[in-house]
Structure 1
Amino acid sequence: MRCLTQHLWTKPNKAVVTLTLSLMGQGVLADPLPTTDPHLPAVQRTQAERARVAAVTAPAMDFSAPEAFEANPGGSGTVADTGDNKVFTLPPANLPFDSKLDFELGNALFAKLWVSAPSSTKASDGLGPLYNARSCQRCHVNDGRGHPPEHAEDERTSMFLRLSVPAGDAPLSALETYLAHLDGAQATERTRPVPGYGWQLQDLSLAGFTPEGRMEIAYEEIPVTLSGGETISMRKPLYSISNPGYGALPDDVQISPRVANQMIGLGLLEAIPAEDILALADPEDADGDGISGRPNLVWSRRYEQVMLGRFGWKAGEPTVEEQSASAFHGDIGISSPLFPQPSGDCTAEQVDCLNARNGANDARGDEIDQTGMDLVTFYARNLAVPARRDVDDPEVLRGKALFHDTGCASCHTPKHVTARLEGAENAPQSFQLIWPYTDLLLHDMGEGLADNRPEHRATGREWRTAPLWGIGLTARVSGHTTYLHDGRARNLLEAVLWHGGEAQNARDAVTEMPPEDRAALIRFLESL
């Protein structure tokens, strides 16, 4: 099985088909959809619990007062708002005392500045040779969201460009074969890494190596007229790559800008049962409401099977561990048991990078070993969600009603109940009523937000519904108010107005509502 994951891109077509169908027969690949959660040591819900969950997650009908427990979006792990920029950095209130040392050790690894190899600090060497940041925390400052550079000399640390090229007639991978079996041969667009550049543009390098290039952004201002005579200017970005270090980029290169996501509540999102998320999917829009969420399906390196994607802007990773290990690999150039390549995202054409000294093959094995990955994963999984603010404010309640009336809640599903989990280490996430405002599904967001870069099952117009909890604390935690996958929106209203595709009707309703209603809607979002 291990060889399958290492050679997804190179196995002959016939061999892949034979192996994939064999795996389906063994139950390793689910058919038609994977509804189990191998990463969740969950206890099966009883019929009574299912009824209880359905009752507490039913859509709100009364907006005259807050719902029960609405002020605690992270369940019993919700932490009080500290009033400072560290409110996203806290462990959950229900974290057992015996686990707090693991949380702090994970925090230290999250903040660690990696250095080049060889180094006298063996536990910290292995950076690059090509990379985007020297630590996790450099992208996720205060565990908050990243931002685009605001001027030519501004650093680009918390934002990067995903890269790919169309797969053409390249042999199908095992995952692609499965998706073709599920969706039809033409339903899933296939990609491959860019020759000489890989899957991601690394704009930094160690001494003696050439960076891959520099992300450049130009903006076009687009005026939008709203009801009541209000006008707003939205900025449309145009991306390019200057100073390409490894040859001309191909004409068909696919570029997708990504800012770092905020880190709170990841373990709670991971603990939502897959069957609950899949129950929200309506790919054929059978109910006729114009909303047709689809699950992304991805290959799990940890569990060696197809799983539901949950993390990243297009739900490209299935678990917190794999999201973390992928970031170490692509962003910092650090190898781990799931990504054992010490040269990071370097390609076969980047010979000097592949042959560079690295920090692997010492007592740790990989540049960050499984113990280190477990600690970082534990930290990322247990960053607490802060309490809501002003839940009983009349304007906030009116904004909440408008949020539902305009259809925003059709994708930004307010409430979920997590699985009942076994093990003390999973106690903070077990059987919690949470309020993340996401369905974790893919939705067509229209041409305006399209990056035209597919990712597994996601098309170039589809994005995962972003969780909204904590969004009103962005300015305080991250020092800016930029939103969406590339930070183009400079405030929450701009973010709403960029919605298209399945969200076009909701977006139009916002432009047409009276100004005082728009203000109430934004006030509600700021309370999250």
Structure 2
Amino acid sequence: MRLRSKAPTAWTTRLLFLSKTFVAGGYAARHFLPVGIGALAGLNQDANLMIVPGRSAILGAVVICAGVIGHTALADGLLSHRNDLSEQDRVKVLKVLPLADDFSKAEAFEQMQGGAGTSRKRINRDAFSHATANLTFEQEQDFKVGNGLFKKLWASSPASTKASDGLGPLYNARSCQGCHLKDGRGRPPRPGDEAVSLFLRLSIPPQTDEDRVALEDKSLLRIPEPTYGGQFQAFAVPGLAGEGRFDIEHEEIVVPLNGGETAILKKPNYKIRDLGFGDMHPETMISPRVAPPMIGLGLLQAVHPGDIEALADPDDLNGDGISGKVSRVRDSRTGELTIGRFGWKGSNPNIRDQTAGAFSVDIGISSPDKPDNYGDCTQRQIECRSLPHGEQAQLGVSEAPDPVMELVTFYSENLAVPARRDVSDPEVLRGKELFYEVGCAKCHQPKFVTRRDAETKAHQFQLIWPYTDLLLHDMGDGLADDRPVGDATGREWRTPPLWGIGLTETVNNHTRFLHDGRARNWLEAVLWHGGEAEAARYQVVAMEPDDRTSLIRFLESL
């Protein structure tokens, strides 16, 4: 049942954001961040909520909000950026505000990590492919049609299937599902396989004042390679050569662990060969990317921008070594600067932009948002741009006109997050405690409350557990790609959500993690962390083997 509330009034307050321990009126409050309570199973206005001990003392405390520059003392201990909430809503949110400090049992609603939309269906290979559970009947129909379009194999032009041609001419996959297999995570190619769900981004440093101005005002986030564009595409339609191939070589890095164990990391190095259109620019920067899982995207889109901004601390004013910053990008339809919350470097502001970009660059399909029918083919690739395209005037502008874009976007926004498993298992709870103790939760923020005024009703006012702050963080030399994109430097990456990570092997038959899939398991993923996460990494290395096992068990439960 959804919690009813009064309409918003002129009176506004702010939620309390804290990432470090403080003492107010004798009460030690730890790890505070914005959370919420939504249409969660069985919850109503009379439900028992988590009450903050010493709430009156906290409300009267003088608190500086971590990461909010120039924030003044709080008269009432609340924050005012959540203008989507009524007074009644704020009280409910405040009551569930603190993160866990009791690890003897699971938190309320922790199992329902996608809020009321959480999927509780059988865990199998389809675990990432179910619709958000609280959609209406009509929305479920749109979801299913969108699913069909997501799986659709596009054909080269001309073709007898007039509404399905327009592929390429250069492309990385023939369908969205081709990269996001079973709506899950991509992986590097196995020996002898073609790279499909891993591809290479390309760019060069700015060459002209015009380039520098475009980067400064964010009309561009990177300068494409002049001949090969923004992405390296190995596949092409009949009659055209692909852009080439690439090989991956590995360098082993030995990491001794406390307890006598040893981990061996494999650092990938990429070498492009068999170029189809001549040499690349000598300053070309290359960054490999695997396709991320699709679950919960609409809920992340519904996180209030003020919640993200309040967690940012780009100058590390609180001195905890964590200096996450907001990625600012332009909305392709409005041109306005907004928060980039999608993509490995936070380069897309919303799922529609992410979808249009993937159609254009990955498949070579135009849309109303990106109307070039030749996708990533550059002006220098004359053979590519001379081939027929698939736009049909009677069907609308572009090869994937609305409602195709609308339906695929809706599908992408409403893939349900699976329910957590084993939330009350003692070893999982011990692993959760360690996750907090070593500082993982400082970037992988466990929970938020989504906007009361989110565009889709199913996403409104939901308590969600994505384990991300949606900010950019310096991850050190080991993970650096040395390729800036927008506000993200060559060492910075957006914190990826962790919900569903424990089902990667079930859904995708592998356990490859990080932006390029280099980590072969959860422990390797942690050991690749550096930069702002260096201190947490060292603590994991120094753990007793049983504690490391418990930490991994917690990640497996997500």
Aligned to 1:186: none
Written as runs of structure 1 = structure 2, the 5 A alignment for 1:328-367 is 328-364=359-395, 365-367=397-399
CA distance in 1, matches of 2:311, 2:262: 36
Aligned to 1:227: 258
CA distance in 2, matches of 1:173, 1:362: 38
CA distance in 1, matches of 2:185, 2:267: 20
Deviations 1:366-415 (A, max 9, x none): 10002110000000000000000000000000000000000000000000
CA deviation after TM superposition for structure 1 residue 170, in Å: 3.6
Q: Is the CA contact 1:360–1:367 (under 8 Å) kept in the aligned structure 2?
A: yes
Provide closer, same or farther for how the CA distance between residues 214 and 471 of structure 1 changes in structure 2, counting only shifts above 3 A: same
Work out whether 1:276 is the aligned partner of 2:326.
Answer: no
Written as runs of structure 1 = structure 2, the 5 A alignment for 1:45-56 is 45-56=85-96
Aligned to 1:511: 541
CA deviation after TM superposition for structure 1 residue 59, in Å: 1.8
Select which of 136, 139, 155 maps to 1:99.
139
Aligned to 2:157: 117
CA deviation after TM superposition for structure 1 residue 427, in Å: 1.5
Bigger-Rg structure (1/2):
2
> Percent identity over the alignment?
55
Q: Is the CA contact 1:272–1:418 (under 8 Å) kept in the aligned structure 2?
A: yes
CA distance in 2, matches of 1:412, 1:218: 31
Deviations 1:158-187 (A, max 9, x none): 11000000013341576633469xxxxxxx
SS in 1 for 2:393: coil
Work out whether 1:399 is the aligned partner of 2:431.
Answer: yes
AA in 2 matched with 1:429? H
Written as runs of structure 1 = structure 2, the 5 A alignment for 1:57-456 is 57-151=97-191, 153-172=192-211, 176-178=215-217, 191-364=222-395, 365-421=397-453, 426-456=456-486
CA distance in 2, matches of 1:223, 1:82: 39
CA distance in 1, matches of 2:93, 2:176: 36
CA distance in 2, matches of 1:70, 1:229: 35
Aligned to 1:22: none
CA deviation after TM superposition for structure 1 residue 191, in Å: 3.5
AA in 1 matched with 2:453? L
Deviations 1:298-336 (A, max 9, x none): 111122211100111001101011101100000000000
Aligned to 2:77: none
CA distance in 1, matches of 2:346, 2:294: 15
AA in 1 matched with 2:510? H
Provide closer, same or farther for how the CA distance between residues 331 and 194 of structure 1 changes in structure 2, counting only shifts above 3 A: same
CA deviation after TM superposition for structure 1 residue 81, in Å: 4.3
RMSD of aligned alpha carbons: 1.7
Aligned to 1:458: 488
SS in 2 for 1:290: coil
Q: Is the CA contact 2:512–2:519 (under 8 Å) kept in the aligned structure 1?
A: yes
CA deviation after TM superposition for structure 1 residue 53, in Å: 2.5
CA distance in 1, matches of 2:113, 2:345: 23
CA distance in 2, matches of 1:59, 1:239: 41
CA distance in 1, matches of 2:540, 2:121: 30
Q: Is the CA contact 1:88–1:142 (under 8 Å) kept in the aligned structure 2?
A: yes
CA distance in 2, matches of 1:405, 1:154: 41
AA in 1 matched with 2:225? V
CA distance in 1, matches of 2:280, 2:97: 48
SS in 1 for 2:259: helix
Provide closer, same or farther for how the CA distance between residues 330 and 54 of structure 1 changes in structure 2, counting only shifts above 3 A: farther
Provide closer, same or farther for how the CA distance between residues 504 and 94 of structure 1 changes in structure 2, counting only shifts above 3 A: same
Provide closer, same or farther for how the CA distance between residues 179 and 209 of structure 1 changes in structure 2, counting only shifts above 3 A: closer
Select which of 490, 504, 518 maps to 1:474.
504
CA distance in 2, matches of 1:173, 1:377: 32
Aligned to 2:33: none
CA distance in 1, matches of 2:97, 2:303: 13
Q: Is the CA contact 2:302–2:454 (under 8 Å) kept in the aligned structure 1?
A: no
AA in 1 matched with 2:316? D
Deviations 1:457-493 (A, max 9, x none): 1000000001000000000101101000000000000
SS in 2 for 1:370: coil
SS in 1 for 2:278: coil
SS in 2 for 1:229: coil
Aligned to 1:527: 557
Written as runs of structure 1 = structure 2, the 5 A alignment for 1:14-25 is none
AA in 1 matched with 2:90? R
SS in 2 for 1:123: coil
Aligned to 2:39: none
Deviations 1:411-432 (A, max 9, x none): 0000000001266xx1211110
AA in 1 matched with 2:297? L
Provide closer, same or farther for how the CA distance between residues 483 and 198 of structure 1 changes in structure 2, counting only shifts above 3 A: same
Aligned to 2:521: 491
CA distance in 2, matches of 1:355, 1:401: 59
CA deviation after TM superposition for structure 1 residue 118, in Å: 1.1
Q: Is the CA contact 1:296–1:441 (under 8 Å) kept in the aligned structure 2?
A: yes
Worse-superposed segment, 127-136 or 160-169: 160-169
Q: Is the CA contact 2:84–2:453 (under 8 Å) kept in the aligned structure 1?
A: no
CA distance in 1, matches of 2:239, 2:422: 54
Q: Is the CA contact 1:164–1:199 (under 8 Å) kept in the aligned structure 2?
A: yes
CA distance in 2, matches of 1:55, 1:284: 30
Aligned to 1:35: none
AA in 2 matched with 1:407? G
Q: Is the CA contact 1:114–1:124 (under 8 Å) kept in the aligned structure 2?
A: yes
Q: Note the residue ranges of structure 1 that are not aligned, 5 or more in a row.
A: 1-31, 33-41, 181-188
CA deviation after TM superposition for structure 1 residue 51, in Å: 4.3
CA distance in 2, matches of 1:60, 1:282: 22
Q: Is the CA contact 1:452–1:460 (under 8 Å) kept in the aligned structure 2?
A: yes
Q: Which has the higher contact order (CA 8 A, sep 6+)?
A: 1
Task: Give the alignment's TM-score, normalised by structure 1.
Answer: 0.88
